[in-house]
Amino acid sequence: MSGRKLIASSKSRAAAIALLCLGLAWLSARAQPSHAAGQPEVNPREPRRVLLLHSFGRDFLPWSEYARSIKTNLEQRSPWPLDFQEHTLLTARFTAPGPERPFVEYLRSLYQGRPPDIVMSVGGPAAGFVQRHRAELFPNAPMVLTTVEQRLIDRASLTEKDTVVSVRHDFVSAFRNVLQVLPDTRTIAVVIGASKLEQFWLEEVKKDVGALEDRVSFVWYGDLSFDEILNRASALPSQTVLFWGLMSVDAAGVIHDGENALHRLRSVANAPIFCFEESFFGRDIVGGPMHSIPELGQKTADAALRILGGERPADVKIEPIAYAAPKYDWREMQRWGISESNLPQGSEVLFREPGIWEKYRWQLALIAAVILIQTGLISGLLHERRGRRLAEVESRQRLAELAHVNRYSAVGELTASIAHELNQPLGAILTNTETAELMLKGSAPDLEEVREILADIRRDDQRASEVIRRLRSVLKKAPFEIQDIELKETVREVMGFVGDVASGRKIDLSFYGPADTDLHVKGDPIQLQQVVLNLILNALDATSEVETGKREVSVIMARAGSFAEIRVGDTGPGIAVADLKTIFDPFFTTKPEGMGMGLAIARTIVEAHLGTIVAENQPYGGALFTVRLPLAS
């Protein structure tokens, strides 16, 4: 190979190398993410790699809740697919943290040449870490330092690729809230652990609360093991409250997950627990002004999306987030006797336990409805019963009136008999008076005989008075009136009326009642007399039709079990079989001048006395009416 050739070939090799370099440079320029130069990404389908760096661990409250809220917000609102890569800065957990170097090396080898699209630190220790190692780890990647108290940010080291989403702890206002809610509080016992971060905060709190020391005294648990803290919390003097700051690592070097630790404290403490972290709210703490998890999640996502969208991180400025409006747990308020009137204006009370009414609303409504319906039914029934009673009283009244009219018509039939009954004693009185006058006109009147005549006159007068009394009692217009009566006597009085009618019609009227037994019933004597009178008059009417043969009417009384029985039988033609069913109907009559009300009234009266009345034909002819009335017990 000649020297020229060699030169030529080395020239062409140099050109080829130059070309290759150019091509590589072009390729590398393409591979370089455009946003690293501050330009917005063009390809919307390419996932954005988000590095999340946790301070204590992914499940450590309160940071875990903030991180979850940030991720949820980002996932919901990001126009790009997101690839979350999460790491935890374990060193923050130790009271004497070991060297960070190995972790830095690990991250460097992981992300070398392929940096994340955005780095997000969660919590104070993580913020400190990324600030310390940014130049070496992620010199060009934008960073969001979030969920960090503003005091923990090293402002001097912030670059134009950094954005801060910080919170502001206001210890004084948190303690003031305790004093407002429980004004008798004398001591606040502050629970803060012993890690570097916690010790920092303990000092900060001590610095801040100087202004309150004339109102309340503070007790610090920073140098106690958690077991010792639990001991003390179970026997606190009255008017003490516990304030939950942080408990990641206790003075004995034991690592705690905040949620479990707080829950253990709550289960033994004899005082209420306050805290300004919303992530602990809802189970163990009373509440108060707290950092809002949704607010921080949303503001952090806002910042991250703006940066991923191409904005310069230094231009994304977010004010430190203060406490949200105070919230309180109703159950804790009940437990510690906290009055709602002590809460600051604009407070929200959550977790109210429903009262008995809210809890069993529909069951109670059902019971109330049933009671209402029952009440309605009962009052309806009572109303109806009253109505029925009134109607009964009224119908009895009407019945009494009708019976009265009916009695008049019956008595009409008795006129001849009554006249005859009255005539007899009156005639005898007249004759006796005339005789006595004649005797007294004589010279020596027989005074003994005159005395006898006068005695006769007196007896006849009494007979006439008796007839009139009976007539009056039958025609008396009296309301239905229940009384204790002896039925034989009542019926016998009726017999006194009709005896003459019967003999006038040549009918043999007989009466039989048991001599040894009284038949006491409860009833209205006038109405019962009316029943018997009607039956006898009907029987006399029927018997009057008999031309040849026996003309007999019999009234027989007896005791039949627990009933008093009155049987009125006759020797008349009897009742046509077809009429037996309708004979008690109103207006049923076979008589040319009949009204057809006698038997209807009789049945109504008997039934009103809880008795029965039956009509039948006797085997040897004639009708038989049987009335049964319950005997008075």
572 binds ligand ADP (CB under 6 A): yes
Q: Report which residue type is found at 430.
A: L
CA distances from 369 to 288, 372, 382, 383, 384 (A): 43, 5, 19, 20, 22
Q: How far is CA 492 from the centre of its chain?
A: 68
- For the record, the structure tokens of 221 come out as 């648990």
Residue with tokens 């070991």: 98
Q: What would you report as the CA-atom Rg of the chain, rounded to the nearest whole angstrom?
A: 60
Of 107, 130, 296, 623, the one binding ligand ADP by CB under 6 A:
623
Q: What are phi and psi of 391, to 5 degrees?
A: -60, -40
Interaction residues for ligand ADP, span 99-158 (CB under 6 A): none
Stretch that binds ligand ADP, among 284-292, 302-310, 555-563, 583-591 (CB under 6 A): 583-591
State the binding string over 70-99 for ligand ADP (x if CB under 6 A, else -).
------------------------------
Sequence-separated contacts (24+) of 363-366 with Cβ below 8 Å: none
Indicate the residue among 519 and 623 with the shorter CB distance to ligand ADP. Answer: 623
d(CA 105, CA 346): 50
Q: Report which residue type is found at 608.
A: A
Comparing C-alpha atoms, which of 503, 568, 506 is closest to residue 538? 568
Stretch that binds ligand ADP, among 235-243, 357-365, 482-490, 587-595 (CB under 6 A): 587-595
d(CA 96, CA 233): 27
Quote the least distance from Cβ 571 to ligand ADP, whole Å.
Answer: 10
Q: How far is CA 128 from the centre of its chain?
A: 58
In three state form, how does the secondary structure of 301-353 look? HHHHHHHHCCCCHHHCCCCCECCCCCEEEHHHHHHCCCCHHHCCCCCEEECCC
618 binds ligand ADP (CB under 6 A): no
596 binds ligand ADP (CB under 6 A): yes
Of 566, 598, 611, 631, the one binding ligand ADP by CB under 6 A:
598
For ligand ADP, the nearest residue by Cβ is 598
Residue with tokens 């949200």: 324
570 binds ligand ADP (CB under 6 A): yes
Q: How far is CA 118 from the centre of its chain?
A: 57
Of 267, 591, 607, 618, the one binding ligand ADP by CB under 6 A:
591
Indicate the residue among 130 and 613 with the shorter CB distance to ligand ADP. Answer: 613
Comparing C-alpha atoms, which of 155, 98, 86 is closest to residue 126? 86
DSSP 512-536: E--SS---EEEE-HHHHHHHHHHHH
Indicate the residue among 563 and 588 with the shorter CB distance to ligand ADP. Answer: 588
Indicate the residue among 484 and 579 with the shorter CB distance to ligand ADP. Answer: 579
- For the record, the structure tokens of 323 come out as 């406490």
Indicate the residue among 122 and 507 with the shorter CB distance to ligand ADP. Answer: 507
Indicate the residue among 80 and 588 with the shorter CB distance to ligand ADP. Answer: 588
Quote the least distance from Cβ 622 to ligand ADP, whole Å.
Answer: 7
**Pairing state between β 273-274 and 240-246:** parallel
Indicate the residue among 145 and 615 with the shorter CB distance to ligand ADP. Answer: 615
**N-to-C CA span, the chain:** 157
Quote the least distance from Cβ 488 to ligand ADP, whole Å.
Answer: 22
CA distances from 389 to 276, 385, 397, 587, 606 (A): 75, 6, 12, 26, 18
Of 589, 612, 621, 630, the one binding ligand ADP by CB under 6 A:
589
Q: How many residues bind ligand ADP (CB under 6 A)?
A: 19
**Pairing state between β 327-329 and 348-350:** parallel
Around Cβ 235, how many Cβ atoms within 10 Å? 10
Quote the least distance from Cβ 419 to ligand ADP, whole Å.
Answer: 22
Quote the least distance from Cβ 626 to ligand ADP, whole Å.
Answer: 12
Of 282, 594, 621, 630, the one binding ligand ADP by CB under 6 A:
594
Interaction residues for ligand ADP, span 495-554 (CB under 6 A): 534, 538-539, 542
599 binds ligand ADP (CB under 6 A): yes
Quote the least distance from Cβ 406 to ligand ADP, whole Å.
Answer: 9
Bridge partners for 187 per DSSP: 217, 240
Quote the least distance from Cβ 392 to ligand ADP, whole Å.
Answer: 23
Quote the least distance from Cβ 464 to ligand ADP, whole Å.
Answer: 30
Indicate the residue among 44 and 619 with the shorter CB distance to ligand ADP. Answer: 619
Indicate the residue among 190 and 542 with the shorter CB distance to ligand ADP. Answer: 542
Chain residues in the site for ligand ADP (CB under 6 A) = 534, 538-539, 542, 570, 572, 575, 583, 588-591, 594-599, 623
